[in-house]
Copies of this chain bind each other. A is one copy, B any other.
Amino acid sequence: MIRNTVERRIGALLKGTGQTLSAAESCTGGRISHLITTVSGSSAYYLGSVTSYAVKIKEKVLSVPSETISSNGVVSSEVACAMAEGVRALFGSTYSVATTGLAEGGDEHYPEGTVWIAVSGPLGTESTIYQSGKGVRKDNIRQFTCVALQFLEKYIQKSQSIDNQAK
């Protein structure tokens, strides 16, 4: 039996619609992109991702303004939203998802286990915060990825539902 994972459900929502997806990852480090591409046929809707681990890559490749980072901190709703909007514009996708957080080691603003997640698409850009609490690095990455994919799934469902009502 094939498990009905969130990445499969996202695939089922997008397949055959002509809608596309991209991702911008910081603390999840590529795991979102990895899970999406484990789904057979994902190349029909998945364009790709940028893992912007270094701050300068967020600015240079994803066009996150340096003032957005310096004013709000790199783990913030504002930076997550700018990353989602940046990768969506760069890749020209219908939807995008972005993460920025701390899988290990807290800072002065946020404790370890904090992630800001943003999703961008036809309904605009939305963000949410998730806190796993102190944990093992790999477990935090897994939890962050799962929560981000669930947030994306809900956004796509809402967007497609509004599209269908308009028809």
Contact = CB atoms under 8 A, between A and B. Distances in A.
Given A57-B91, A91-B57, A38 B29 contact: yes
A106 to B, nearest CB: 14
Number of copies: 2
Given A30-B30, A30-B31, A37 B53 contact: yes
A47 interface: yes
Contact of A34 (B30, B43, B50, B61): B30
Contact of A31 (B34, B43, B53, B138): B34
Contacts of A23: 51
Interface of A: 23, 25, 29-34, 36-38, 40, 42-43, 46-54, 56-57, 60-61, 90-91, 104, 137-138, 141
A53 B47 contact: yes
A139 to B, nearest CB: 11
B30 A104 contact: no
Contacts of A141: 34, 37-38
Which of A23, A30, A36, A40 counts the most chain B CB atoms within 10 A? A30
B90 A38 contact: no
B48 A50 contact: yes
Contact of A61 (B25, B42, B53, B90): B90
A43 B54 contact: yes
Contacts of A34: 29-31, 33-34, 141
